Structure 1
Amino acid sequence: MPDIMEAAPGRFANPLTLRPGERGCCPACGGRALLPVLRLGSVPTNSCLMLDTPEEARAYPRGAMDLVFCEACCFVFNRALDPKLTEYSDRYEPTQGYSPTFRRFHQDLAARLVAETGLKGGTVVEVGCGQGEFLHLLCRLSGAQGIGFDPCLSEARADVVQDRADGVTLRGEFFSDDSARDLRCDLLVSKMTLEHIPSAGRFAALAQRVAQQSAPGMQIFIQIPECERIFEHGAFEDVYYEHCNYFTEASLTALFARHGFRIEGVTREYAGQYLTIRGRYTGEAGGEVPAAERARLRAMLEHFRDVCDRQIGEWRALVAQRQAAGKAVVVWGSGSKGVSFLTAIGGGDGISAAVDINPHRQGHFMVGTGHPIIGPDALPAIQPATVIVMNGVYREEVAADLAARGLHPELLAL
């Protein structure tokens, strides 16, 4: 039986935005000792929208980022966020599921998660399920029923799901107080979503409520960007408006420990880019971050701005040098990293186009700069001398795609 899709096209308002009384303090723990980390002005407020013209893309709204560090729980967040400037709808397209590299990772991760949780039957809830790619994998491997929530759900993009399972329901809406009412499950999953949710503390509280409504010992699996890598290496391409939250292991584990979850596993995945935690609800609260860890992270963040500036300067100079030599340059990857990269280097005048293997992104334009998004088959006409891969984990895959088209350009990766 095919999965049930309850999609509601159009724009949605995120119910987990900050309430008036929550502003000015940490959304994760409520702390008020906030240390400034990084300020950015005029950045595109969306990076994964499918925009139809370069004029629309260049005119898209911009906002400010003011990242601050909570000295109590080590959480980093954008206190200048205006949720009204971000759009999560059926024209938001973030999936990496067309990449063979990513699909192999997804399949391996699903198999490991089923084994580690002992999941057999029961119910899995996924918050931020995309088109249901991972939820279908979990349910097919475990025999579980699945319920997924995502405001970007679109039947038009269901082709990304390769292996379907029976008993999966996808709901085109945000996870909220209403959707959590009377919801029960054995495993609650959230992958690459919590970094988008302004009120991280209320999300954890909703997970706690679902656990209290469920059979004892409900488990969670949370995956987010690994932000110590961003802070230490100045990975400016991973700093963008939709990501209002920047978790470290300390802040992520503390958040869920405060809401009664015992953390049973912490891993770093996908060449160290993703941080995951796996936990079980016990009802016993904890979550104190040791002073030494708070001091270590604070010291790291004090150098973040300088490291970012250095990385941006080097890439800007490289592109300018290739442009001056009359050499065509393209970026490979039209999603958030690509938008952030082009914005940071000053608009990317020396970049001819953005390449993406996702057929749903091709024919659209990069938010902020208006660069055309093309498929790999358009590259022979451009004959790029340099290809800059927005995510180094795809370097070998990209090299193979280029070689298959008789292209052997200089290949660089962030």
Structure 2
Amino acid sequence: MQNKIKPELLAPAGDLEKLKIAVLYGADAVYIGGEAYSLRAKAKNFDKEAMAEGIRFAHEHGAKVYVTANIFAHNADFEGMADYFKEIYELGADAVLISDLGVFAVAREAAPDLEIHVSTQANNTNYQSARMWYQLGARRVVVARELSLREIREIREKIPADMEIEAFVHGAMCISYSGRCLLSNYLSGRDANKGACAHPCRWKYHLVEETRPGEYMPIEENERGTYIYNSKDLCMIDHIPDLIDAGVVSLKIEGRMKTPFYVGTVIKAYRQAIDDYFEDPAKYEQKREYYLDEVSKASHRDYTTAFYYGRPDGNQQVYTNNSYIRPYDFIGVVQEASDAEGYAWIEQRNKFSVGEEIEVMPAKGPSFSMTVTEIYNEAGESVESAPHPQEKLRVKFSQPVQPFDMMRKFLSDTK
């Protein structure tokens, strides 16, 4: 495609397994958290050894690794911070994501050659702030989720040509502006701005407001209350041309705490959509429903385009429940390539049984369906089902499989 820059597909990686899956399933880059300074304290995250292995694996496969350090720092957080930035630079990290000016200053001094991206937590809503970050040494800004495509396009026009724009295109939305929220602190004592959010926006509430007569919140959907703060999930897979036209060069998927199945499913779908668009826009147009169907196979809430096409209204919330739509069960991941007879060792994640119809999703190429005909445990005994999580099993496959290919089965109850 002429005069179009192919955007980077940026994937979440909450641990080493998810990093490898993200890269193998098509991510151009991944973002990870270290054991400190990251906004996902509940994710497994990466110690020094895991980070070194992850960076090495990504680079061997032509992908980049960005390390998040986007907390709002207090005085005590600066102890050891300079050494941390030196360490991740020496490990080969391609960039670090930062939202706090003090943290930014420490990173610039400790590792001056480490590229800095400004996190969405910094409330990047205008071109003036982007210019200022650029003058301080940043080379990429992650724009706030609250911006429209029109606003992003204007930022692109008014910032230096070599400054990049990254934007979230898929995943959970936050009820608070750019994720700056004190609700979790107030209700549970867990600091959302230190990575420990309890997600009280997903809880159910009864709300009464005495001083605004005539303004009624939808609080009577059922007898148990309503989930008035519970946002739908963002999905822009069928709007990729608009994102590119607005000047976004990195399409970011949310979900460092999501499952490997979620990461592989979503990344593969976006990889196909981006590649199809750059191969032939008409091909992309014809397959829009297919892409939506593919990302919908991972657990999700109802989808929305959020702020991209205008200010959201009440239809962007899920009022009736806080559960996910879960059409498929992640039942296993292949550990080694299948042998000449079609057998391969897998690690089981959810129960499946002989006689069930399952689907295999390879990192590359189309998925295929098969009936499970043979399962063997580690002792070589034939078994009828696999009920124990993370059990190692030998399974007969109908087509060749490779390490990190994933197995899933359709669920009749999708809620």
After TM superposition, the score normalised by the length of structure 2 is 0.28
Bigger Rg over Cα: 2
Higher relative contact order (CA 8 A, sep 6+): 1
